[in-house]
A and B are shown apart, each in its own frame.
Chain A
């Protein structure tokens, strides 16, 4: 997986390549040693190549807001879990950001789910991650059975919002 962020209209690839006490990060292919210590949900000390900074962070969907060095920055996450791109904003469709394997499905088709409820456990690139519902509704599709592998961009699940009553 290659997380990408848009800063000042340019897209950058930021990747974790190694993690022990320190994390090795590649920013646009340039390796950095990072250490992060979270003080609370929004504040952390971030040390990059030995230089420590106080950082404040908050996220609203695909926007990340940061405050460091006395300035505020806004970045857009290039959303590879993209549910907004093709199916349109407000869609509950979940696509695979990368090839992987379905480990477990917590819900069945037809189940009513809440926004943020964990739906699936997948594994990609040796990482397991829970996939959560982006909106409340009914699970209309589970794309793969446990153990099945999927390709990048495959539909892992679909959650349909209740019919508009307006």
Chain B
């Protein structure tokens, strides 16, 4: 398959502080890639470097088979044929929607251009507001206008910088699906950055988890969630807890939930101390289970409730329970672990200094 974007070990930084270091990945034609990471992880810098607004310190960037950046060399952004959708859309306020979308379209005769732009507008459902100015549009319309503008010149690559963060939650989900459809329909290749994993899961074919300026894992959504490459990926993506445990043999490990049996994500010698990733859906609530845990925190989620449970040995896990099972904090409930693929990391490897999101502090317990 032809690769549209190839990033070869790029680094970028100022003085002694590296913003991104040694990042390498490949995005194939027609794919949608997504970088997921907390604020300040360097993901926006990475995107701006690919767009050509920042220069690399080392490494190379190739777009559509030609080198656009390396140390001391940078093709200016206007020559890269890379479209960009900005977080605040950056629509030109003194131009109509039609003029905005037509702005990047050259090499077309007037009449042909007009038809083409109207086509592009109808793709995003904005043919009715072509003559309006950006400030007369709603947030969602502005976003689609910006998308149409970025796609109109048929860029080799489309970059999306936190495209949904300025929209309200209800609109976000619908638009992320719309945007994915539009991108797929136009057979465009796209790379997006976000700190919202739902967006990443909804949009992307490939997800890169980035933290502290380096790429932790570059994989599909399923693998990112179920086989996180390391503790910081596990910590950032999804919810769960890391339980300390000891390997008993090649398929069994002992921890606060008892002895778990299954295939290991990485081989570990017998007797070594590990951290085991337990997702909330791995802990099943069964009233008659002999194994009891105490509820210390609960979050109502509509269809289900997320309980934070304290185990006998003092460790805690998360459990996702259908919401008709109402229990009080302090109550003991029966649980059963259901883990087939055991994701474990040798002890000491995981040490997350930064919580993913201060509003969701409960979602991960870190043992260091």
| A, B bound | no
